[in-house]
Structure 1
Amino acid sequence: MSIETLKTDDGQVTIWMDGPAWDDHPKVATVGKCKFTSATAGARLLAEAVALAKSKGATALIGPMEGDTWHAYRLISARGDQPPFLMEPSSADHDEAAFKTSGFDVISSYFSASAPLSALPGPKPKDTDVFTIEPWDGTDPDALFTQVYDLSCAAFAHNPFYKHIDLTDFLAMYQPVVPLLKQELILFARDSTGALVGFLFGIPNYAEGPEPRSVILKTYASAQKGAGHWLSYQFYVNAKAMGFETVIHALMHDDNLSAIRSGLNGADVFRRYALMGRAL
């Protein structure tokens, strides 16, 4: 993988030449790790990134994205008043202007929302014998995340901007958060053979300190109809029993089912994000 970093006195960016697919562009690069002192400085650096990517054969450039959607991507397009939460992307207020000035447009939009757990979980889903829901047993985190990896690759393969990642790289991303994990907030759906057909990954919002009052519903995926509803229901039940007061529905695409379900659960949007792109 070809990676290059551009630095000046007023900022820096890193370019990954082997980016994910985007529309019908034959060779997509990404630009991330963006640090600008101003929109003007950012636009200058991004113009250099565009020229470099084009000279290397790229036909499109998207960002902010650190190579793929498994790693940090998106900028904050509407900050709101709520403080940052754990594992949330960060960007300066002038970053979006820097991208737009250098010819980028919004190509995908996302949001985070919060809801009081006092109003959840809502009606219990219908009982089923197609799958069962169980929490992580707290042992062997590598085995845990290997299962999550396998289902994630299958569930997300058709998502926009998807790019495959090796298991070793996937495990390296999650190993730093293992000490922060709570068994009750990591849930599996298994069919009658024991095969994994869904998972939900939640984590306390330690950005609030050692005793957070909010909990983050970070990711879930399902290969079985109804499993996602059951996973989220059990997550809310467990989170309430643990004393959390608020749930954060983190980093949802504007158009996906999670966004619809978040709205049905009475969640209020508090932050918006954008992914930017331009043809070269």
Structure 2
Amino acid sequence: MFCGQPVQTPHPLWQAGRSYARINRTASMGFCNQGDRYVTVEVRQVSDSRQAIADFIAVSNSVYAGDRHYTKPTRKSVERSLTRPEFAGRQRCFLAERQGKFVGRLVARLPAEDSQAVGESSVLPATIGDFESHNDPQAAVAMLLAAVRWLREQGATEIIGPMEGDTWHRYRLVTGPFDDPPFLMEPYNPAYYPALWQQAGFAPFETYHSKKLEDVRTALERFEPIHQRAVNRGFVLEPFRVDQFESELERLYRLSLAIFAANKLYSPISADEFFKLYESARSLLDRRLVWFACSPEGEDVGFVFAVHDYHDAAVAMRGQDGWLAKLRFVMHKRRAKAINIKSLGVVPGQRHSGLGVALVAQVYREMLGMGFQRANLCLIHDDNPSSRLDAGLGTMLRHYTLYKFEGAI
């Protein structure tokens, strides 16, 4: 998901003083014997926001050092993640330290105070997100279990992760394959992360996948009759009007609430928070790749949201947001070789009408006109029929897993 705007006021989660929860390695975790001494892992609940931001960035920078595919976040985006107002007083940051060096980090969050479970979820779970760690099982397990203990102490009964509070923000682990480079806004992590979570007592809870389609032209030929039937029935496909960004985002917001409300783990967010998430996407939008479906009566009934795969351009910014970073982004945009279909939805009353296929066919038609032959169908739940929008021509690109704590504390 896209990041929101920075919060300028101090955040209540940062309390005065600094508290530590020392967790020595017991027999269940395993001792690390270096020479004649045992090395312990210290897990800290961090209280100084400025220091936490720097430490969080330092951990991720060290984990991904030398990784040419890693998209380094800006300091502002890390600050926004750690100071979301809806989690004020309902989250804790944890850092794992070994021999004076931070080797892991995460944020444990209770559900936002005003959030409500909708659809399949009767009670919203607590979440653990913003997770990064070196391949240090003892440190990672100690940190994850410290977060679980804190959440349990606050009354949490169900704990899932990795998730940054809700499904509107970043969640899931990549579980492989790791052969192809990542696409823009895809979850990204080292291959050893799933093992760390499972060693801490987390088990797979929900699974997802992405596909790559390298024969868009044939897929479009198969979908054209369905697209034409939708048009003949009076449905109208309208492109996103970039020059009316705010009002078009309002349409997208209303549709998203109506379409995704029944999804598992769904919780609504305010219009203000939604606009903050998508504001940073303004420069990525191409009116040829974002479409609304309107009923014969003129009502919005569906949308598709696709973007150029500017992953290489995002990497080139190197975690900066100044003019030089923006210039590097522009210079690397030409390297995009695919279009990412990020979101697709049709309101319940119009499902099974072919509108989803018609919307995707419209994007396929536009991208062929732009010279693109490859589409990435991104982050689809394994039970979602959207997986068939490759017309049977796609191949598996990646798998992802969301975990639930099933261990004992």
TM-score by length of 1: 0.94
Structure 2 Cα separation of the partners of residues 252 and 91 of structure 1: 18
**1:197-230, Cα deviation, whole Å (9 max, x unpaired):** 0100000001143121100011011122221111
1:51 corresponds to = 149
For 1:149-228, what aligned pairs fall within 5 Å after superposition?
A: 149-208=253-312, 209-211=332-334, 212-223=336-347, 224=350, 225-228=353-356
Structure 1 unaligned blocks of 5 or more? none
- Which of 370, 377, 399 is matched with 1:242 structurally? 370
Aligned amino acid, residue 280 of structure 2: P
Count of residues in Structure 1 that have an aligned counterpart in Structure 2: 279
Structure 1 Cα separation of the partners of residues 147 and 394 of structure 2: 38
- Which of 26, 37, 44 is matched with 2:134 structurally? 37
* CA deviation after TM superposition for structure 1 residue 194, in Å: 2.1
1:230 corresponds to = 358
1:87 corresponds to = 185
* CA deviation after TM superposition for structure 1 residue 193, in Å: 3.0
SS in structure 1 opposite 2:233?
coil
Kept in 1: contact 2:120–2:262 (CA 8 A): no
* CA deviation after TM superposition for structure 1 residue 43, in Å: 1.4
* CA deviation after TM superposition for structure 1 residue 106, in Å: 0.5
Bigger shift: residues 4-13 or 35-44: 35-44
* CA deviation after TM superposition for structure 1 residue 27, in Å: 5.7
**1:17-43, Cα deviation, whole Å (9 max, x unpaired):** 017859777562000000111251221
2:20 corresponds to = none
2:56 corresponds to = none
1:274 corresponds to = 401
- Which of 92, 103, 106 is matched with 1:10 structurally? 103
Aligned amino acid, residue 16 of structure 1: R
Aligned amino acid, residue 378 of structure 2: A
Kept in 2: contact 1:115–1:265 (CA 8 A): no
Backbone CA RMSD of aligned residues: 1.9
2:220 corresponds to = 121
SS in structure 1 opposite 2:232?
coil
Structure 2 unaligned blocks of 5 or more? 1-86, 97-101, 313-331
Structure 2 Cα separation of the partners of residues 252 and 266 of structure 1: 16
**CA 1:23–1:37 in 2, change beyond 3 Å: closer, same or farther?**
farther
2:167 corresponds to = 69
TM-score by length of 2: 0.65
* CA deviation after TM superposition for structure 1 residue 72, in Å: 0.1
Higher RCO (CA < 8 A, seq sep 6+): 1
